[in-house]
Structure 1
Amino acid sequence: MKLFGGILLESINYKGLPVLNVLENGAKGDGVSDDTSSFQEILNMAQNSLGIQVYVPDGVYRMTKELIVFKNTTIIAEKNARIIRDHAGYLMINGYKKNQTIYPPSTFTKYNGNGNITISGGVWDGNGVKQTSKASIFHFGHAYKLTIEKAVFLDAANSHHIEFNSSKNIKVTNCEFRGYVGTATLNEAIQLDLSKRNNTILGADDETPCEDVWITDCYFGNSGTSGANRIARAIGSHTATIGVLHRNIHIMNNIIENTLSFAIRAYAWENITISNNKLNDCNAGINWRTNILNNPPDSHTEDKNGVQTGLSQVVENGYISGNVIKGGMSSGRVIEVYGESSGKAKGVIVSGNVIVLSQSTSINDAILLNHSEDCSVEGNRIYGTKKVGIACRNIWNVNMNGNVIDSVGGHGIEVSGPSAYATISNNNIKRIGKSGIYISGVDTSTIIGNTIGGVNGDNSSSHAHLSLTGIKRVSITGNTCRNLGTAYVTPTALSITSGTEIVRAGNNFAGFSTSGVSGLKSGADLQ
């Protein structure tokens, strides 16, 4: 009796649907024969039934045309079943494209396309080294209830391993995404896209986003195929429309290695969780971004009717937490929460991340919040970044609490303006190239309870443990400063070059001077 994963084949039929074996329908699985029709004939049966289950035994199956998968289909492939794209199109798509003439194009809208599809197991080979025409391996449009599990995707040809377009209720788990053939750095292994005006392959271009997505326990990295590159990005989006947001996105417990660009790019997403992932030697890390201004090729600031707004839009609510990021960052920051003046990033918590870099290979800040409101950066460990440990620019009501920042080339923490309502508290900052805490153009903020040990690795007279300029209504209390060895030394604990309504009290500046101090209201420190 044939076994599937140690289970009798009959027991696969848990849905009460027929189990159809591609070998019994004429497929050879020898890597030479064209097995397309044997697969497609079985997939077609789903159109006139309550659903089907397709069983793909071990073998190498060559496809010379796109496979069309219909609703209520489950494909169960053995671990060593390899399905190879040997043509210029997608390996699989859930309907008939607009640009083909053999069948009437699918007229899907919203989420009413072919859905309730499960693909379990198998190696799905984009064969990008041989078949170089730009094409994703899988493309799903206007779909619902999609499950991809225990599958391997190889060597996408200058595109995505999977594109989920205008789809919802998506689960991708325990899969591997390996290899990419191309040089464009914006192609994600898993892309979440919307059915954008004048740019949709399947169904209506009705600006439908993706919703309710879970990507968990997957691996993203190299394939080892000769001629294949590293993957460009692991997960993300790169188009957007005003008034449309992908939402309820969960990216957890994945391993991402050696990306050419961002590991994760949450572009025009809201209500997200990016947690407990491991990023190793990626060129850039996690980017949560509102719509980019002045990007006419992709019209990211047009609304759903094609009207140019010239504005960004708010994204909000989510966690970037518990991720471990090591090495790389040769082309970007580790974590960016990046808004625009016309579209803020709101309600973002960046917490409990471990960041270990080298100043010799990283090029920028570790964590950046720009045009962000009502956010927290707390409990992160940052080691070795080239520039600033935590940078907050143009922010409102952001808390930076309990972070450990060590051996960074720039400032430990920087808040620059116009910014207001910043709280910098209980951070441990040491071995810093410039100032421990640098504040510029900030109003109504608090610096309290920080321990700063060793700054001025640049050996510049302009750096201090706390360096402030252009500030108003700022309290500086309960901070402790010291030098470390001979490499991280400054005579100045506190430098305030300009400001008004400043209170400082209860700081331990023993053995240090203060310079340029002005605008003080009251208070005393140990000096």
Structure 2
Amino acid sequence: MDKEQKLPAVFNELAETLRDISRTSNHLNEKLKSAYTIVATDHPLVRADGRHDDAKGIQRLLNLADGKKGIHIVFPPGLYTLRRPLRLKPNTFFEASNDAIFRKKHHGPMLLNLHRRDRMRVYRGNGNLIIRGGTWDANYPVYRGGTSFVLGHAENVIIEQLQLVEHGGGHAIELNAMRNIEVRHCKFLGYDDRNGERAYSEAIQLDLAKARRVFPWGGSVFDQTTCKDIWIHHNSFGPSDTKGSWGRAIGSHSATADRWHERIFVTDNKMKETLQWAVRAYSWRDVVLYNNRMESCGGGIAIHPNYVDGRNDTDSKNRPTGRSNPIKNVLIIQNAILGGGNYASAIRLKGDEKSPITCACLRGNHVESFPGKGILVTGTANSLIHNETALSR
């Protein structure tokens, strides 16, 4: 197959997917504009005074989505105390003022789209969600619990214009078996790696419905459903005033043989001072990484097949296969990787003879003041590396 013919076709196909995601988001916005609207503080149990527990009242409002075509809850400025997780129903528009703060005071997630006794499969769970605005304070180390937003087995979700701050371990957002998702114009600030125990944690993790050990919150059927059609753009990741940056900004760290996260777009983000990779695409295919800026990160971009370790190379029936998933269609274009490099390469594509990375295009990326390897490529086929700029420290 001629790469000069193949690569433009890949661009066109992925561009059409991106347009589809955008159209879905626009449709969701229009749909939820007509939802029943209520101001959260009109409920007597929602006081936003920083002293009383607001979670019970907020949950009662969220439950109204069961009996309506949709619920639009508006949160005015204030300090909302959450002493229990909030659980979203379908067709919910959760809109918070920029001066609304949600502070966790329990040892679990802040927001989930499922209940522990649910049996969600493929993408049939609680979807059609918009989560917009506010600062979500995980309040670590006073409270633990790791991951803040847990979203599984659903489709059509927008997360936008909010801040997720002060984490320890876990993730800011877990996207597990999700489809048609946008995360945009958000900030992910402040992370404690628990003395190196969780140095690999991603602010945004893409995961699959593999096993309870990777999705311990219940509510999921472990049917090996992966993430598809994900667009993460115009976000920033870095330290807060009291904590360092994330282990990784965006990525994955579990896999199943013959399953991939597909059609993943990471564009126009800013990643700063991650401990490991800024982006780690682990068993992903049909990937676009465009115009991201990575400053002083441990490593830049990693394209990795799943490990052959008896766990990540098992198939959907938990049988070891002894091989990695081959990866195809990876576009890494016009990213800037500046400084850092104390963990790994600026850009690394690691395929092998049995499971190569095919149809990869690296074009117009800029690597500067990077002491280690700028670009490390192994096990690729039918790929194009062009117009790279690497300046050593």
TM-score, normalised with respect to structure 2: 0.88
Q: Where do residues 30-429 of structure 1 align in structure 2 (5 Å cutoff)? A: 30-97=49-116, 105-131=117-143, 133-182=144-193, 183=196, 184-199=198-213, 200=215, 201=217, 202-225=219-242, 228-293=243-308, 295-296=309-310, 299-358=311-370, 362=371, 364-384=372-392
Question: 3-state DSSP class of the match of 1:264?
Answer: strand
Question: 3-state DSSP class of the match of 1:260?
Answer: coil
Between structures 1 and 2, the one with greater helix share: 2
Instruction: State the partner residue of 1:501.
Output: none
Question: Which one has more relative contact order, counting CA pairs under 8 Å at least 6 apart?
Answer: 2
Preserved contact between residue 179 and residue 229 of structure 2 (Cα < 8 Å)? yes
Q: Residue 135 of structure 1: CA displacement?
A: 2.3
Structure 1 range deviating more: 14-23 or 163-172: 14-23
In structure 2, C-alpha distance between the alignment counterparts of 1:94 and 1:270, rounded to whole Å: 26
AA aligned to 1:215 is I
2:30 is the counterpart of 1:15: no
Preserved contact between residue 32 and residue 71 of structure 2 (Cα < 8 Å)? no
Preserved contact between residue 13 and residue 53 of structure 1 (Cα < 8 Å)? no
Preserved contact between residue 165 and residue 210 of structure 1 (Cα < 8 Å)? yes
Question: 3-state DSSP class of the match of 2:33?
Answer: coil
AA aligned to 2:240 is S
Change in 2 beyond 3 A, CA 1:169/1:261: same
Q: Where do residues 428-467 of structure 1 align in structure 2 (5 Å cutoff)? A: none
For residues 305-351 of structure 1, give each alpha carbon's deviation from its aligned partner in whole angstroms, at most 9, with x where no partner exists: 10111111101102101001100011100001111333111110011
In structure 2, C-alpha distance between the alignment counterparts of 1:39 and 1:178, rounded to whole Å: 25
Preserved contact between residue 313 and residue 342 of structure 1 (Cα < 8 Å)? no
In structure 2, C-alpha distance between the alignment counterparts of 1:185 and 1:253, rounded to whole Å: 24
Q: Percent identity?
A: 30
In structure 2, C-alpha distance between the alignment counterparts of 1:271 and 1:285, rounded to whole Å: 19
Structure of greater Rg? 1
Question: 3-state DSSP class of the match of 2:66?
Answer: helix
In structure 2, C-alpha distance between the alignment counterparts of 1:198 and 1:192, rounded to whole Å: 15
Question: 3-state DSSP class of the match of 1:112?
Answer: coil
For residues 156-208 of structure 1, give each alpha carbon's deviation from its aligned partner in whole angstroms, at most 9, with x where no partner exists: 23110000000000001111011112231111000000000343333101100
AA aligned to 1:192 is L
Preserved contact between residue 128 and residue 158 of structure 1 (Cα < 8 Å)? no
Gaps of 5+ in 1: 1-11, 98-104, 386-527
In structure 2, C-alpha distance between the alignment counterparts of 1:340 and 1:286, rounded to whole Å: 18
In structure 1, C-alpha distance between the alignment counterparts of 2:306 and 2:35, rounded to whole Å: 45
Question: 3-state DSSP class of the match of 1:65?
Answer: coil
TM-score, normalised with respect to structure 1: 0.66
Instruction: State the partner residue of 1:470.
Output: none
In structure 2, C-alpha distance between the alignment counterparts of 1:264 and 1:40, rounded to whole Å: 35
In structure 2, C-alpha distance between the alignment counterparts of 1:69 and 1:156, rounded to whole Å: 22
AA aligned to 1:21 is V
Question: 3-state DSSP class of the match of 1:166?
Answer: strand
Q: Residue 376 of structure 1: CA displacement?
A: 1.1
- RMSD of aligned residue pairs (Cα, Å): 1.4
Structure 1 residue ranges, 4+ long, deviating more than 2 angstroms after superposition: 12-15, 197-202
AA aligned to 1:308 is P
AA aligned to 1:207 is Q
Gaps of 5+ in 2: 1-29
The size of the alignment, in residue pairs, is 357
